[in-house]
């Protein structure tokens, strides 16, 4: 059951939903119609999201399901009560040195876990790093970056919002590697 619309991003509209079967609150990210018409991108996004199902780490926003229904592509993820790092920086900057180190180490811990399993974020930026109401760091949208990179028409648009955090080789159209994620964390 959809409870409310909670966000509108470049690619997705996000809804807070109630899963009555498992009695939990979830977030459902629905791909904007203009991107859903790019089947190559949408299908790649679903493949990458499906690969994340079952990946469990306290610092990764969990993916529960994904699919397509009547041309609407969606990904069902863990609902996070909190703000993204971009908003946290806007509200609280400058951070103390200890807070900066804690945030950086938390992100590095998640990246190490993901990289060891063959996953590269490829779109690491403050908007994809969530800070829960308890202060825990969670990385979102591991399944988006490579799908964007596979769709040249979308890559330029995506670069406009991420270029400040993007490794040079990724900006040039090459595949993201763990080193590209490390570069992004350094910029953040």
- Name the residues annotated as catalytic: 123
Q: Tell me the C-alpha distance between 149 and 169, whole Å.
A: 12
Q: Sheet of 137-139: strands edge to edge?
A: 82-84, 129-132, 137-139
The DSSP call for residue 143 is T
Q: Are 82 and 131 in contact, with CB atoms under 8 Å apart?
A: yes
Q: Given the DSSP bridges, would you call strands 82-84 and 129-132 parallel, antiparallel or unpaired?
A: antiparallel
Q: Rounded to the nearest 5 degrees, what angle is found at the Cα of 49, between the Cα atoms of 70 and 181?
A: 140
- Nearest Cα neighbor of 100 from 89, 90, 110, 111 is 89
Quote the CA–CA distance of 144 and 52 in Å, as a whole number: 11
The backbone region for 82, taken as left when phi is positive above 0, alpha when psi lies in -120 to 50, beta otherwise, is left
């Amino acid at each position: 059951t959809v409870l409310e619309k909670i966000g509108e991003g470049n690619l997705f509209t996000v809804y807070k939903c109630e899963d009555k079967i498992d009695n939990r609150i979830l977030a459902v990210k629905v791909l904007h119609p203009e991107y859903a018409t790019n089947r190559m991108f949408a299908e790649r996004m679903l493949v990458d999201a499906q690969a994340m199902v079952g990946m469990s780490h306290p610092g990764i926003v969990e993916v529960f399901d994904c699919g397509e229904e009547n041309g609407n592509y969606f990904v069902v993820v863990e609902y996070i009560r909190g703000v993204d790092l971009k908003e946290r920086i806007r509200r609280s900057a400058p951070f103390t040195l200890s807070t900066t180190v804690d945030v950086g180490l938390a992100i590095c811990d998640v990246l190490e876990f993901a990289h060891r399993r063959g996953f590269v974020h490829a779109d690491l930026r403050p908007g994809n790093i969530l800070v829960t109401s308890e202060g825990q760091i969670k990385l979102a949208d591991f399944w988006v970056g490579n799908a964007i990179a596979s769709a040249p028409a979308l890559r330029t648009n995506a670069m406009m919002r991420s270029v400040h955090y993007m490794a040079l080789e990724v900006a040039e159209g090459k595949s993201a590697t763990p080193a590209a994620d490390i570069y992004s964390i350094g910029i953040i």
